[in-house]
Structure 1
Amino acid sequence: MNNATVIRHLAFEDLGTLESALHQHNYKIKYVEAGINNIIGIDANTDLLIVLGGPIGAYDEQDYPFIVDELHLLEHRLQADLPTLGICLGAQLMARSLGAKVYPGDYKEIGWSPLELSVEGMNSPLAHLAAEHTFVLHWHGDTFDLPTDSTHLAASSKYQNQAFSWGKCGLALQFHPEVTACGLERWFIGHACEISTTSSVRVAQLRQDTARYAKQLEQQAAKLWQAWLESL
């Protein structure tokens, strides 16, 4: 059995659809709670490291010192080309650990929209998200520059850098392919303050779009996860 270590920053931002794919590929899952558990103690050679999302910035180590530990861990893994996945904040941390700049964007991107895949993206597991009527969830205010020597995979209508790969085994996703319709109800509660202070975002619209797009994403994301795990 392989080991998958998952760094989680918020209890309700979990693996979602990725969990069942990991079980199908015989991974034993261990969550490490940022700010509570010891990130330094994570085995740098764990079979698979997954860093999930959260509302803090990848540059906020003065307030959240554990970010330094995450960056050191990611730097080691990416230099060694060990299987590593970052989602949203996790992708931003991957970019920073590779020397790229992470910074506040011009506006928040919260809601459902399709991806625009590069040629390389269409030749990657992300191609499963290019299927007709497949929208993904975006939920971020920060963005990042593309790391040197990485491969750009996807953009959105608002942000150019939505996904990149690193080496053979590193994948960074600014968007959220892991989410489920049921799980997002917890997001609507947990991110209530951010929603209420973002003028273009309303819970009613998020819920309506989730009902429209989440099922298709769940189906296509399952194919994405299977393809990516098989490539490792």
Structure 2
Amino acid sequence: MGKVVVVQHAACETLGTIADALEDARLEAAYVRAFAGEPIPTHLDEAVGLILMGGPMGVYEQDRYLFLVEEMRLIERALDQAKPILGVCLGSQLLAATLGARVVRGPQKEIGWFPITLTEAARADALFAGAPSSFVAYHWHGDVFDCPSGAVSLARSALTECQAFRYGTNAYGLLFHLEVTEPLIADMVRTFAGELREAGLSGEEILRQAERYVPDLKRIGQTVFRAWVRFLQT
């Protein structure tokens, strides 16, 4: 059974529906719980790919979260070895930063349900060719990034110009959350309730909207994540 290293930055931010795609392909998710002090691997010799999940810290907080430096070194090794990479939210920011892109605080936090529009390039992309040209996705981020040099921008939102990108053939960064389930969202709302209060947002409203949007998001995620998993099988 092939192994995929999964770096987790918060207990509540799990693989979600990505896990289904891995299980269907008989791939093992080898979690590295960086938030709990588990060491970042120094290599990926025994892994077929790398997944980087979301979290509350910022790429620029490396003095506070020393594992971010080690994680970016691991991303460099994955890129050098052409191992498939999937970065979600913070994971996409770490991938972008490793590729030399600027990661900064956005003008305002994007939390909740907002439309995503795919770029023209996404229509021919291995992951997004089968996705609708626009859909409502789940968001929880305050930081944004420039599309890395040499990368292909795949999606945008009203507030964020680069919501997804591809570098090379198999390294992907998704700032929005395509992997969420209703229980996962409920866990995030509980865990980060203070951030919601500071932003003047309602967790109850986010959960109510989840009932409407999660079913479509699951279908889109199934298409996208299964396509990415194919890179792990070649």
State TM-score, norm by structure 1. 0.94
Aligned residue in 2 for 1:108:
109
Q: Deviations over 1:143-199 (max 9, x none)?
A: 011111011100011100100001111010000000001221111100101001002
State the SS of the aligned residue for 1:130. coil
Map 1:6-155 → 2, pairs under 5 A: 6-35=6-35, 36-43=37-44, 46-124=47-125, 125-130=127-132, 134-155=135-156
RMSD (Å), alpha carbons: 1.5
**Cα distance in structure 2, aligned partners of 1:195 and 1:130:** 30
State the SS of the aligned residue for 2:199. coil
Q: CA deviation at 1:41?
A: 4.1
Aligned residue in 2 for 1:4:
4
Q: CA deviation at 1:204?
A: 2.0
Aligned residue in 2 for 1:202:
202
Q: CA deviation at 1:230?
A: 2.1
**Cα distance in structure 1, aligned partners of 2:129 and 2:202:** 30
Letter in 1 for 2:208: Q
**Cα distance in structure 2, aligned partners of 1:225 and 1:171:** 11
Distance 1:213 1:87, change over 3 A: same
Unaligned runs of 5+ in 2: none
Aligned residue in 2 for 1:224:
224
Distance 1:197 1:129, change over 3 A: farther
The answer to whether the 8 A contact 2:117-2:133 is kept is no
Q: Across the two proteins, how many residue pairs are aligned to each other?
A: 230
The answer to whether the 8 A contact 1:129-1:217 is kept is no
% identical equivalent positions: 34
Aligned residue in 1 for 2:158:
157
The 4+ residue runs of structure 1 with deviation greater than 2 A are 40-45, 126-129
The answer to whether the 8 A contact 1:151-1:166 is kept is yes
**Cα distance in structure 2, aligned partners of 1:131 and 1:121:** 9
Unaligned runs of 5+ in 1: none
**Cα distance in structure 2, aligned partners of 1:16 and 1:108:** 22
Q: CA deviation at 1:44?
A: 5.1
Letter in 2 for 1:62: D
Aligned residue in 2 for 1:188:
189
State TM-score, norm by structure 2. 0.93
